[in-house]
Chain A
Amino acid sequence: MENTVKQIVEKYNSNRNRLMDMLIDIQEGEGYISRDAIATLSQLLDMSQADVEQTLSFYHFFSTKPRGKYAVYLNNSPVAYMFGREAIKEAFEKSAGVRFGEVSSDGKIGLFDTACIGMNDQEPAAIINNMVFTRLTPYRVRELVKMMKEDKPIEELRKESFGDGKNYLPSLRSMVSSNIRRKGMILSDDYHFGTVLREKLPTLSPEGVIGEIKHSAIRGRGGAGFPTGLKWEFCRRAKGDKHYVVCNADEGEPGTFKDRVILTEKPELVFEGMALAGYAIGGEEGILYIRYEYRYMKDYLEEVLHKMRKEGLLGTNISGIEGFNFDIRIQFGAGAYVCGEESALLESLEGKRGEPRDKPPFPVEKGYLGYPTIINNVETFATAVRIVQNGGEWFTQFGTDDSTGTKILSISGDCMFPGVYEVNWGFNVEDMLDMVGAYDVQAVQVGGPSGTLIGPDEFHRTLGYSDLSTGGSMIIFGQQRNLLRDVVVNFMEFFIDESCGSCSTCRNMTQVMNNKLKKILAGKGVPNDLKDLQEWGRVLNASRCGLGQTAANPIISSLKNFRHLYETLLQKDKDFDEGFDLEKSVQASCSYVGRVPVFNHH
């Protein structure tokens, strides 16, 4: 053990900033991170043991207890439930003989819940030892468990055909489907990788690149919508010995999976975009920060990078441009939604807990290791390549005035054809529903839990930064769904689990509001409770990051647009109900002490 840890620490040059990698290697090697491993690690890195644990305990996929020879992580997003998660869970528990949250007594099978793994278009899905199993059925689960009990290698559990697109490639061998249903400039096959680096850059200065990006008016595709050109310009101007390019592939917003598809089908485009950005801001190092749920892509993405190095698209003096040096490394997360927030992502990159930073300073001034850094979404980098290829002016013909270009949507839920659709901005929800074959729709969750839940009277609205802004997640709920019980509570619990806990507001208010919602669902609600929920939610605006500020959106937006669902649950004849049954509690207490309760009803 001690030697293994030593080797791992040496592999990363005893660099504390690579603590995430060290912990991942130990977790994958041993199935958990033992007390001994923590002790050795802390000694070698000159940290306290508790300090190592403070990073470790932040991330969902790290554990100080064994997680089983086969660790099963079953997605628990609302869409998984809509497609039969209960039956899958039951099948796992029955055949493995162990409950969720536990490991079987022989140490073979561990069952765990996990937040959206980016497979909403092929649920129910689970990750078993980094391999993704989609479209699970009880029969398939029984088969999987039987093979696990027989100690079959994980590859042998792979009985289905490989997914579509590039998922069949030897370095991927994945059962995941890309489900591309509509192509635009990013997903189209008419771009020859490397053209911009080879042919365009020799004719353009870094300022020229930034000029084209600014002219295109593209805004960040991750959801926040900051103008990309400005970000690059600020970073270029910021003083620092080094500048960094970071690609945010944390894609944790439940219902989003388009980055998974872009990275599967067009990784070269993303990496080319990162190199392009490196040229523009004067940076030589790029880092792809990708969520651990996509660990199955590791070998594939490394292979693509290797190929690009061989072709001279990464490395030194790229395209013969003197001093244009750029390379990319891949950093995996370990299960934390908040790391999609750019400054939390930076903390995680530095081997720490993913707690968002105070701003200012912004990452463009002080980012990774304190150096000026741009952090852009996967889709933004891919789009930047097409912009520089064809010019900023060309790009503005797509989309609308304030939202130029195309957007890749991840559409899932109650529809005929869930998957990835690249559309021009300005698309309206009605058309979108018709496009995917969604009928009798009750609601659409636009932009994931942190976005908005809208009903039919708002389906005329359009997708764009000034109307319905979205990072791409679209979840459709049919009439048969119980929105409050099955969607809103699920999303609130997601935020409660995923809050970093740093701000008093986000750490506590999500819980307080969810308790109130549960009180209403239990039939104990009174009209004032709705007023409370509305007012209390405002406190979250004082949170440091976007997660905290939007953490009550599932309640706030459903209360605004589906108020009738709440109202029908309220007690009509009461204006106060503490949600506590005095008589029942007195009876319980009396039964413990052997007294007989007397109630005086007046």
Chain B
Amino acid sequence: MSNLIKFKIDGKECMAEAGKYIVDAAADNGIYIPTLCNMKGVKPKGACRICSVRINGRLMTSCTTPVTDGMEIESNSADIQDLRKSIIELLFVSGNHFCPACEKSGNCELQALAYRYQMMVPRYPYEFPTKPVDASSPRIIKDQNRCIFCKRCIKTIKDENGRSYFVFRNRGHKLEVVLDEEMGKTIDSATAHLAMENCPVGSILVKEKGFDTPIGKRKFDKEPIGSDIKL
């Protein structure tokens, strides 16, 4: 038996292997903590902050914090759930997310989280920013209106030399995730599809063919996000 430790989430006794990230350890114990920028098996970055939990009075991201013995984690309290909802709303108002017209509708994790958190109208005013769409690559469309800067494509979509196809540009409110102009010209079909799949929203789309799976039969059309862990 490997090194098992005990910890608590919202008072519930849990067990996990030492060193596991809280978000995975929680899932092993049937507790769902929402994530957006996180991907299993990929080094986390704690960018979206939606998986924030409270430990010793401090907010920590559960995708980046390893669980330790005796740790007491607060996840399901009203203020933390409201924080998560706030973050979802912030992401909606700071981009241009028009779900009905988006190829990712039903497969989109941001949309799915908005449903799960019962977002009706964001409490924040929409910013309606003007953002470009980069369609210069023969295979990929990078729609900046929908990007939520999760970094998933940056971390996972690389060429054989380990060079990233996608990178950040600028900073702060001017931040963008861009596709390298040269590399975008030669990206192969499999990599392009993987990029689209890894994108939690509809910011990376493969050109020429869409709606392979009809609306209504998509990932989150039947069950809310996180249902594989807990309804």
User: Bound complex: CA of A46 vs CA of B161, how far in Å?
Assistant: 9
Q: Are B168 and A579 in contact (CB under 8 A)?
A: no
As a 0/1 sequence over residues 154 to 170 of chain B, the CB contacts with chain A under 8 angstroms (1 = contact) are 00000001011111111
A511 and B94 within 8 A (CB): yes
CB distance from A14 to the nearest CB of B (A): 15
A521 CA to B64 CA, complexed, in Å: 40
Neighbouring A residues of B164 by C-beta, 8 Å: 48, 50-51
Measured in the bound complex, the distance between the Cα atoms of B177 and A307 in whole Å is: 46
Query: In the complex, A540→B30 CA distance in Å?
Result: 29
Instruction: Identify which of residues 350-390 in chain A touch chain B, using a CB-to-CB cut-off of 8 Å.
Output: 353, 358, 360
Neighbouring B residues of A508 by C-beta, 8 Å: 90-91, 93-94, 173
- Contacting pair B167 A50 (CB below 8 A): yes
B38-60 contacts to A, CB under 8 A, are 44-50, 52, 59
Answer whether residue B127 sits at the interface, using C-beta atoms and an 8 A cutoff.
yes
Known: A502-B45, A511-B127, A515-B125. A539 touches B90 (CB 8 A): yes
| A323 at interface by CB-CB < 8 Å | no
Q: Please, what's the 1-or-0 string for A497-533, where 1 marks a CB less than 8 Å from any CB in chain B? A: 1111111110111111001100000000000000010
User: Considering only CB atoms and an 8 Å cut-off, how many residues of chain B contact the other chain?
Assistant: 47
Residues A22-56 near B (CB distance < 8 A): 46-51, 53-54
Across the interface, A51 reaches (CB within 8 A) one of B65, B149, B167, namely B167
B183 at the interface (CB under 8 A from A): yes
Closest partner residue, chain A, to B52 (CB atom): A542
Known contacts: A50-B178, A50-B181, A54-B167. The answer to whether A504 contacts B127 by CB under 8 A is no
Contact call A512/B183, Cβ cutoff below 8 A: no
Q: Are B182 and A48 in contact (CB-based, < 8 A)? A: yes
B102 interface residue (CB < 8 Å to A): no
Which of the residues A353, A512, A516, A532 comes within 8 Å of B168, measured between beta carbons?
Answer: A353
Q: Kindly list chain A residues whose C-beta atoms are within 8 Å of the C-beta of B166.
A: 50
* Whole-angstrom CA separation of A47 from B180 in the bound complex: 11
Please determine whether A539 and B173 come into contact, CB atoms closer than 8 angstroms.
no
| A543 on interface, CB distance cutoff 8 Å | yes
B59 (CB) vs chain A CBs: closest residue: A542
State the Cβ distance, B7 to closest chain A Cβ, in Å.
16
Interface residues of B in 125-160 (CB under 8 A from A): 125, 127, 148-149, 151
B75 CB to closest chain A CB (Å) equals: 13
When A57-B169, A57-B170 are in contact, do A539 and B163 touch as well, CB less than 8 Å? no
Q: Which residues of A contact B115 (CB under 8 A)?
A: none
CB 8 Å contact bits of B163-200 with A (1 = contact, 0 = none): 11111111111110011111100000000000000000
Asked if B149 and A47 make an inter-chain contact with CB atoms under 8 angstroms apart, the answer reads no
Nearest residue, chain B, Cβ from A359: B64
Decide if B61 is an interface residue (CB 8 Å cutoff).
yes
Q: Is A104 an interface position by the 8 A CB rule?
A: no
**Contacts A57-B171, A58-B171, A353-B168 hold; do A50 and B180 have CB atoms under 8 A apart?**
yes
B175 — nearest CB in chain A belongs to which residue? A501
- Evaluate contact between A502 and B124: CB separation under 8 angstroms: no
Given the interface pairs A49-B181, A49-B182, the reply to whether A358 lies near B170 with Cβ below 8 Å is no
Contact among B47, B87, B94 with A502 in the assembled complex (CB-CB below 8 Å): B47
Given A358-B46, A512-B124, answer yes or no on A507-B61 (Cβ-Cβ < 8 Å): no
Chain B: CB-nearest residue to A579: B125
- A500 CA / B168 CA spacing, docked (Å): 10
Instruction: Tell yes or no: B5 within 8 A of A by CB.
Output: no
Chain B residue at smallest Cβ distance from A532: B123
Report which residue of A49, A499, A542 has the largest number of chain B beta carbons within 10 angstroms of its beta carbon. A542
**Contact across chains for A539 and B44 when beta carbons are under 8 A apart:** no
> What CA separation (Å) do A579 and B183 show in the bound complex?
44
State the CA gap A315–B71 with chains docked (Å).
46
Chain B: CB-nearest residue to A499 = B172
Closest to A578 in B: B125
Given known contacts A50-B178, A507-B149, is B169 in contact with A539 (CB within 8 Å)?
no
Q: Which residue of A54, A507, A539 contacts B172 across the interface (Cβ within 8 Å)?
A: A507
Contacts of A49 in B (CB 8 A): 180-182
Q: Are A496 and B173 in contact (CB under 8 A)?
A: yes
What residues of chain B lie closer than 8 Å to A538, measured between beta carbons?
A: 83
Q: Is the CB of B91 within 8 A of A544?
A: no
From A503, which residue of chain B is reached at the shortest CB distance? Answer: B49
Which residues of B sit under 8 angstroms from A53, Cβ to Cβ?
167, 169
A498–B172 contact, CB under 8 A? yes
B66 within 8 A of A: yes
A509 to B127, CA, bound (A): 11
In the complex, which residues of chain A have a beta carbon less than 8 angstroms from the beta carbon of B86?
536, 539
Among A48, A501, A515, A541, find the residue whose CB has the most chain B CB atoms closer than 10 A. Answer: A48
Kindly list chain B residues whose C-beta atoms are within 8 Å of the C-beta of A423: none
Report yes or no: A358 in contact with B167, Cβ–Cβ below 8 A. no
Give min CB distance, A292 to chain B, whole Å: 15
Q: Is the CB of A358 within 8 A of B64?
A: yes
A185 interface residue, CB < 8 Å from B?
no
Residue numbers in A under 8 Å from B91 (CB-CB): 504, 508
> Which 3 A-B pairs give the minimum distances between C-beta atoms?
A501-B175, A50-B180, A499-B172
Complex A-B: 14 CB contacts under 8 Å: A53-B169, A54-B169, A336-B171, A499-B171, A499-B172, A501-B175, A503-B47, A503-B48, A504-B49, A504-B148, A505-B87, A539-B86, A539-B90, A542-B49
* Known A53-B169, A353-B171, A508-B91; further 9 A-B contacts with Cβ < 8 A: A50-B166, A336-B171, A501-B172, A502-B151, A504-B149, A510-B173, A542-B49, A542-B87, A544-B49
